[in-house]
Chain A
Amino acid sequence: MSKVQLPNTKLFINNEWVESISGKKFKTFNPTNEELICEVSEGDKEDVDKAVKAARNAFENGPWGTTMSSEERGRIILKLANLIENHKEKLAQLETLDNGKSIVSAREDIDFCVRVIRYFGGWADKIQGKTIPISSEFTSITKHEAIGVVALIVAWNYPVMLLCWKLGPALAAGCTIVAKSSEFTPLTALYLCELFKEAGFPPGVFNLVNGFGATVGNALSYHMDIDKISFTGSTITGRKIMEGAAKSNLKPVTLELGGKSPNIFFSDCQIDHCVEAAKDYVFSNNSQNCCFSSRFFVHESIHDAFLALFTEKIKQLKVGDPYEESNNLGPLVSKQQHDRVLGYIEKGKSEGATCHLGGVKHQIDGKGYFVQPTIFTNVTDDMTICKEEIFGPVVVILKFKTVDEVIKRANNTTYGLAAGIWTKDISLALNVSNKLKAGSVWVNNYDNCLPQVPFGGFKQSGIGRDLSEYAIQSYLSVKAVTIAHKTLHAHQQQ
């Protein structure tokens, strides 16, 4: 077990650490052993107000929003990337401590944070508007301006990584930020605050208010002086945020919500290769992953062979102490989530699905929120475990016969975040990917997220995109400046 140094646990506003106005604290736990890690300042509406005011001031009056060139902004963002890289081990240890993911996964997450921040640092001075051809008597240009003060609310599954996915484009665009991490995993975001200071960001550019969704999240959603919200988390909360935005100042929202993503294995795929790949991605982060491929559609001609091999591979995954580098799966993030997942497993069994592997609680010394990787077979499309996002290490295996059938069934969901296709046939791959209603379609790979490639959902998996140039668009306002000027013949030099 690691003895990592904890970050400052107060609220971070105007580059300073402050207590919440109420003085309240909330507890954050180590999901590996259920022990209290520490108490963190619990923010509330008044603290949000203070943070928004700081962000607004930084945007309207501070150097960030007024005197700094986009190039200078980019330079500071690049410096932040370097600092995160320098503090990788510390951040990874904290992430594992608070979230429960394996230390190996945590390190990979921090690496990804570095890449994302560096990527967007490179965009800061490349956000180009347009000149629009009209006539010789008009000059029309667009300017891409920062949308303003933005609220970033992220979930507990990838605490600091999801924050970086949003910080990157928001900062590149020139926005100022009020962020709220999940109450389950506040520590890495707190640690990040010191790196912001060290990188040289002016006061008020990045503010962090920890607390609960019902208070802090709600205050942000309804706040009249926040120009935009970006949220990653559950669909239920996403709806509330959008409602809050509608009822307040019509702030635009970006929502990255859940999924029930199909992974389609056609008969011509190489089973060994597919299964070997699946072993790495399917239960990563304990499947606490919004684009988790929870529905495996396997062509009937290869179903039995696939299932046998897949089961063998999954049995090799080790559940245990996340600080043990040989362990693949750590605990779930919290008792609430642990209970919820176990509830779904029970539901699956009671609805008649076959629990082919796992399906039980796993504990170390009787403690920790561990669940065995679980495979269900004999599942029908209308079963709860086939329709609802479980957010735990539970996958269902489904058979299909024809291409039309599998497309229809794959799309038959309120979600539309991601999908996978495994085939050697180029026409099949392209035709099926065209038909799948998902924001990301991976062919012969899965969960390959890259800073340069957009990520977001169709249908009720969300609105807008994270990552890539696309992410920046939602942090911009487009202003068209059209100047009328008389032609030279109608104009005289005085």
Chain B
Amino acid sequence: MSKVQLPNTKLFINNEWVESVSGKKLKTFNPTNGKLICEVSEGGKEDVDVAVKAARNALDNGPWGKMTAEDRGKLILKLADLVDQHREHLSDLETLDNGKPLTASSGFDITEAARALRYFGGWADKIQGKTIPISSEFTAMTKHEPIGVVGLIVAWNFPLLLLSWKLGPSLAAGCTIVAKPSEFTPLTALYFCELVKEAGFPPGVINIVNGVGDVVGDALSHHMDVDKISFTGSTRVGRLIMEAAAKSNLKPVTLELGGKSPNIIFGDCDIEYVANAAKNYVFANSMQLCCAASRFFVHESILDAFLTIFTEKIKQLKVGDPYDSETHLGPLVSKQQHDRVLGYIQKGKEEGATCHLGGEVHNHHADGAGYFIQPTIFTNVTDDMTICKEEIFGPVVVILPFKTVDEVIKRANDTTYGLAAGVWTKDISLALNVSNKLKSGSVWVNGFNILKSQIPFGGFKQSGFGRDLSEYAIQGYLSVKAVTIAHKTLHAQQQ
């Protein structure tokens, strides 16, 4: 167990640490053993007001709003370097607070956070408008301006990474930020604040208000002086945010919500290869992952062989102490989530699915402490079962046989979600045709969970709208202004 140094636990506003107006605190727990880590300041509406005011002032009156795009980029690049330099500390904190394996915190979360920031730092001075041809008597151009003060609300599954995915493009665009991390995982965002200061960001550019969604998230969503909200989390909360935006100042929202992503394995693929790949990605982050491959459609001709090999592979996964380098699955983030996932597993059994593997609490400690669940595979599942339709957000996968291409496309698309999908085949025509038909924001062919800063990520249907990552993410943080200048032609004009 790590003895990592904890960050300042207050609110971060105007590059300063402040207590919440109410003086309230919220507890954050170590999901590995259920113990209290520390208490952090709990923000309320008044604190959001203070933060928004600071952000507005930074944009309208501070150096940030006047800074060249190039200099903004330089600061973001510096921040990326600092995240890299503090990777060990941030990784320890992330594992402590979230429960994910330290190898994942370090090898993926924090590394990718730095890469995202570096990527977007490079975009800062490359956000180009257009000149538009009209006639010789007009000059028309567009300017891409920062949309303003943005509220960023992120979930607990990838605490610092999700924040970086949103900070990157919003900072590159020139916005100022009020961010709310999840109340379950506030620590890395708090530590990050010191790096923001060290990087040299002017006061008020990045403000962090911790608290609960009903209060802080709601205040941001309803706030009349927040120009945009970007949220990653559940579909239920996404709806609430959009409603609040509609009822307040019509601020645009970007929503990155959940999924029930299909992973389609055709009969011509190499079963050993596919199962081996699946071992690495399918239960990553204990499937607390919005694009988790929770529905495996396997062609009936290879179903038995696939299931056998897949089961063997999954049995090799180790559940346990997230600080152990051999561990693949740490605990779920919280007791609430633990209970919720166990509820789904129970529901699956009740509805008649076969629990093929796992399906139990994993007792890592002698006293049963910690929110561990074994990787679970259900078979004999029908499309209308709850575990086949609802996002479980835990280590539970369902295996579904299919016969024809048309059938599997129809069934894969038969969901209110549309975040991601996988296609496994050697046939190029099949791969392209099926990927064309799948209604998902991301389609991976012979891969899954390939998330890169340069590639956009977002959902179709009720998995959300707008995009994180890539140049596309920046668009969500810009206002487009068209400047059209009328000027008489030379012959009509005299010196």
Give per-residue flags for B433-444: 1 if the beta carbon is below 8 A from chain A beta carbons, else 0. 110110000000
Selected interface stretch from A89-97, A228-236, A411-419, A425-433: A425-433
A140 to B84, CA, bound (A): 38
A493 interfacial contact with B, CB 8 Å: yes
A326 interfacial contact with B, CB 8 Å: no
A124 to B122, CA, bound (A): 9
Q: With A404-B490, A485-B428 as given contacts, are A126 and B433 in contact (CB-CB < 8 Å)? A: no
- Which residues of the other chain, A, contact B119 by a CB distance below 8 angstroms? 71, 125
User: Are B136 and A126 touching (Cβ within 8 A)?
Assistant: no
- Which residues of the other chain, A, contact B305 by a CB distance below 8 angstroms? none
B495 interfacial contact with A, CB 8 Å: yes
The residue of chain A having its C-beta at the shortest distance from the C-beta of B268 within the complex is A494
- Which residues of the other chain, B, contact A469 by a CB distance below 8 angstroms? 126, 128
- Which residues of the other chain, A, contact B324 by a CB distance below 8 angstroms? none
Selected interface stretch from B87-95, B281-289, B481-489: B481-489
A299 to B495, CA, bound (A): 10
The residue of chain B having its C-beta at the shortest distance from the C-beta of A485 within the complex is B429
- Which residues of the other chain, A, contact B487 by a CB distance below 8 angstroms? 426-427, 430-431
Nearest 8 pairs between A and B by C-beta?
A: A122-B122, A427-B487, A485-B429, A403-B495, A485-B432, A430-B487, A493-B405, A431-B490
- Which residues of the other chain, B, contact A487 by a CB distance below 8 angstroms? 433
Report A's interface with B, CB cutoff 8 A: 70-71, 74-75, 78, 115, 118-119, 121-126, 128, 136, 139, 266-267, 299, 402-404, 407, 426-428, 430-432, 434-435, 451-452, 469, 483, 485-488, 491-494
Selected interface stretch from B9-17, B28-36, B70-78, B148-156: B70-78
- Which residues of the other chain, B, contact A139 by a CB distance below 8 angstroms? 432, 436
User: Are A71 and B485 touching (Cβ within 8 A)?
Assistant: no
B123 interfacial contact with A, CB 8 Å: yes
The residue of chain B having its C-beta at the shortest distance from the C-beta of A128 within the complex is B471
Shortest C-beta distance, A436 to chain B (Å), equals 12
Shortest C-beta distance, B77 to chain A (Å), equals 7
- Known interface pairs A122-B121, A428-B495, A452-B69; 6 further A-B residue pairs with C-beta atoms within 8 A, sorted by A's residue number: A122-B124, A139-B436, A403-B490, A427-B488, A431-B493, A486-B433
Report B's interface with A, CB cutoff 8 A: 69-70, 73-74, 77, 115, 118-119, 121-126, 128, 136, 139, 266-268, 299, 404-406, 409, 428-430, 432-434, 436-437, 453-454, 471, 485, 487-490, 493-495
User: Are A493 and B430 touching (Cβ within 8 A)?
Assistant: yes
A428 to B404, CA, bound (A): 68
User: Are A435 and B490 touching (Cβ within 8 A)?
Assistant: yes
A488 to B408, CA, bound (A): 12
CB < 8 Å: which of B70, B118, B405, B471 contacts A452? B70
The residue of chain B having its C-beta at the shortest distance from the C-beta of A172 within the complex is B122
Shortest C-beta distance, B265 to chain A (Å), equals 12
User: Are B405 and A491 touching (Cβ within 8 A)?
Assistant: yes
A-B CB contacts (within 8 Å), total count = 107
- Which residues of the other chain, B, contact A435 by a CB distance below 8 angstroms? 490
- Which residues of the other chain, A, contact B124 by a CB distance below 8 angstroms? 122
Most B-side CB within 10 Å, residue of A123, A407, A485: A485
Most B-side CB within 10 Å, residue of A124, A407, A434: A434
User: Are A136 and B436 touching (Cβ within 8 A)?
Assistant: yes
Q: With A125-B119, A126-B471 as given contacts, are A486 and B429 in contact (CB-CB < 8 Å)? A: yes
A491 to B428, CA, bound (A): 12
- Which residues of the other chain, B, contact A483 by a CB distance below 8 angstroms? 428, 432
User: Are B490 and A426 touching (Cβ within 8 A)?
Assistant: no
Shortest C-beta distance, B428 to chain A (Å), equals 6
A/B interface sample: 11 pairs, CB < 8 A? A70-B454, A136-B436, A299-B495, A428-B493, A451-B70, A452-B69, A485-B429, A486-B433, A487-B433, A488-B406, A493-B266
The residue of chain A having its C-beta at the shortest distance from the C-beta of B431 within the complex is A485
A402 to B493, CA, bound (A): 11
Q: With A403-B493, A427-B493 as given contacts, are A119 and B70 in contact (CB-CB < 8 Å)? A: yes
User: Are B454 and A126 touching (Cβ within 8 A)?
Assistant: yes
A435 to B487, CA, bound (A): 13
Shortest C-beta distance, A18 to chain B (Å), equals 34
A492 to B403, CA, bound (A): 11
The residue of chain A having its C-beta at the shortest distance from the C-beta of B115 within the complex is A71
A118 to B434, CA, bound (A): 41
The residue of chain B having its C-beta at the shortest distance from the C-beta of A124 within the complex is B122
Shortest C-beta distance, A401 to chain B (Å), equals 8
A434 to B489, CA, bound (A): 10
Most A-side CB within 10 Å, residue of B74, B485, B487, B494: B487
A124 to B121, CA, bound (A): 12
A118 to B268, CA, bound (A): 47
The residue of chain A having its C-beta at the shortest distance from the C-beta of B404 within the complex is A493
User: Are B126 and A430 touching (Cβ within 8 A)?
Assistant: no
The residue of chain B having its C-beta at the shortest distance from the C-beta of A114 within the complex is B74
- Which residues of the other chain, B, contact A451 by a CB distance below 8 angstroms? 70, 125
- Which residues of the other chain, B, contact A123 by a CB distance below 8 angstroms? 122, 126
The residue of chain A having its C-beta at the shortest distance from the C-beta of B71 within the complex is A115
CB < 8 Å: which of A75, A452, A488 contacts B125? A452
Shortest C-beta distance, B141 to chain A (Å), equals 11
User: Are A491 and B430 touching (Cβ within 8 A)?
Assistant: yes
The residue of chain B having its C-beta at the shortest distance from the C-beta of A427 within the complex is B487
A382 to B250, CA, bound (A): 64
